Amino acid sequence: MSTGHVLLGLLTERPKHGYELKREHDARLPGAKPLAYGQVYATLQRLERDGRVTVAGTVQEAGPERTVYEITEEGTAEVHRWLAQTEPPAPHVSSALFTRVVVALLAQGTADAYLLRQRAAHLERMRELTARKRGAGVSVGEVLAADYALHHLDADLRWMETARQRIEDLTQEIRP
């Protein structure tokens, strides 16, 4: 996913300055990695260079003067092109979990202790996310982000159980 596309999407509502875009990104995409201000402004400069946004003016609120950007017709067309594309499934599934299992088998001769510790960490994170979903004043976006994370953690847990069932065969395969 491109930060530029997300910022263009946020600008489809109305012109905004960089600090506002950063705040909206972080608030509207709970669970996503927060954007750095430098990343927002560097991306806005590239979008301006490419004709996808233009400077609409400046505003001065409580702090320094801020440049306001608005999306151009080319920017709007780009957002629509991006939204028309499907997100392709990853061609290579790379998992830190799988990598650690293989390395544990090579370095320690067993991965069972690692898998049990990882399972406990996943369950703890799932409890945290479930509690957060039930908290007061939680937005639908926050609930959906938590659900997304919970589904991924659940898939990892199921994979860990499968790995534990196949660990003997994997050990023989990688340590002949």
* 8 A C-beta contact, residue 169 and residue 135: no
* 8 A C-beta contact, residue 29 and residue 142: no
Domain boundaries, the chain: 3-84, 96-174
* 8 A C-beta contact, residue 138 and residue 132: yes
- pLDDT, residue 90, reads 64
DSSP for 111-157 reads -HHHHHHHHHHHHHHHHHHHHHHTSTT--HHHHHHHHHHHHHHHHHH
CA 124 to chain centre: 20
Confidence of residue 135 (pLDDT cuts 50, 70, 90): confident
pLDDT in tens, 6-33: 999 999 999 999 999 999 999 888 878 8
3-84: CATH topology is Arc Repressor Mutant, subunit A (1.10.10)
Return the percentage of the chain with pLDDT > 70, whole number. 95
pLDDT in tens, 144-153: 999 999 999 9
Confidence of residue 84 (pLDDT cuts 50, 70, 90): confident
pLDDT, the chain, mean: 89
Model's pTM, two decimal places? Answer: 0.69
- Specify the higher pLDDT residue, 89 or 62: 62
* Residue 23 CA: distances (Å) to CA of 127, 134, 165: 27, 24, 45
